[in-house]
Amino acid sequence: MELLIEVRNLYRSFRDLKAVDGVNFQVAPGEIYGLVGPDGAGKTTTMRLLCGAVQPDHVKGREGCLIRIAGYDIDRQVEEARAHIGYLPQRFSLYEDLTVMENLRFFAEVRGLSTSEWKPRCMEILQFVGLDRFVGLRAGMLSGGMKQKLGLAAALVHRPEVLLLDEPTTGVDPVTRQDFWQLIIRLTGESSGNPIAVFVSTPYMDEASRCDRVGFMRKGKVILEGKPADLRNRLEGRILELRGQPLQLLRTVAEADGDVETALRFGDRMHLRVRQGHAEQVMARLGERIPAEGGEISVLRRIPPQLEDMFIALQEE
């Protein structure tokens, strides 16, 4: 299988902190790989290692690390590899005093596009991200979501094969997040030309669910990897939804049950994770104990597990 991103035995420490500790993964053309984990897990350091902004540690006594982008070893062919990368960092990093078009022109020319190339390409990519009506507007006047779209346009202006997105929708509204992800899905599904590979870090489980594969990262390690549906299925039959009032009483009674591993609030309801094979017994007991304690149950049922449930379970291990 052709691979656009190939990472093996990736290590990076900062003094005594192991920011990235033996990470391995691969991403094929047309695939979206999501890296999920809490703050400080090592996601941004991994991203910076991929684009060559940080050098990996070469650990004596272990097999040498490898970062290969579009067939190029970033340790020995960093400029060739970077030519195939589009990178969108967490924070807006374009020039706010320049217009939308001036920003794109700058990045296009830095990437070596001639005048005959960058003009049509800039308009094409601005239409793609929905900013073609704002070509003369200064970037500093854009909303947060529009700035992220401009950042995406700048990352795509040279037609990269690999797109690196570091928490690209943090701080933008839900509608803009939806629009942004529609653009990403269109990029990987393009039938004309070669589909790109997307590597994205995100704190949002609904975004992780849109990825083809997800890696859960904790303390520098990818502790679990797979398709979102397969990861959710690991908790099949173990998640209960509990609704009623008062919620704090419901939670207290649920947590006192020996077969309930966690009881977490999701808005106006609780998600209970129970021991494998004990869901029916837990529901029967809670159906008696909660009313006896003065609480009221409106819903108590099994539900399909969500990616949040799996993420929380991994964090507790």
pTM of the predicted structure, to 2 decimals: 0.89
Pairing of strands 239-245, 296-302: antiparallel
| Beta strand spans in the chain (E) | 5-14, 17-27, 32-36, 66-69, 72-73, 85-88, 162-166, 197-202, 213-218, 221-226, 239-245, 260-266, 269-274, 296-302
Q: Whole-angstrom distance between the N-terminal and C-terminal Cα of the chain?
A: 34
Predicted pLDDT at 187: 85
Question: Between 144-156 and 174-188, two packed helices, what is the crossing angle to 10 degrees?
Answer: 10
Q: Which residue has the tokens 């391995």?
A: 24
Options 3.40.47.10, 3.30.565.10, 3.30.390.30, 3.40.50.300; CATH of 1-84+160-230: 3.40.50.300
Residues 6+ apart with CB under 8 A from 285: 257
Predicted pLDDT at 306: 92
Residues 6+ apart with CB under 8 A from 258: none
Predicted pLDDT at 188: 86
Domain ranges of the chain: 1-84+160-230, 95-159, 234-316
Distance CA 72, CA 60 (A): 23
Q: Which CATH class is domain 234-316?
A: alpha beta
Predicted pLDDT at 191: 46
Positive or negative, the CA dihedral 53, 59, 60, 62 is negative
Mean pLDDT, contiguous 10-residue spans, the chain (317 residues)? 89 92 94 92 94 82 80 92 92 88 92 87 90 93 90 92 91 84 85 78 91 95 95 94 95 96 91 96 97 96 93 83
Distance CA 113, CA 157 (A): 9
Count the neighbouring beta carbons within 10 Å of the beta carbon of residue 135: 14
- Is 259:214 a contact under the CB 8 Å cutoff? no
Predicted pLDDT at 60: 57
Predicted pLDDT at 316: 79
Q: What type of residue is 7?
A: V
SS3 sequence of 150-179 = HHHHHHHCCCCCEEEEECCCCCCCHHHHHH
User: How far, CA to CA in Å, does 30 sit from each of 75, 79, 154?
Assistant: 25, 23, 20
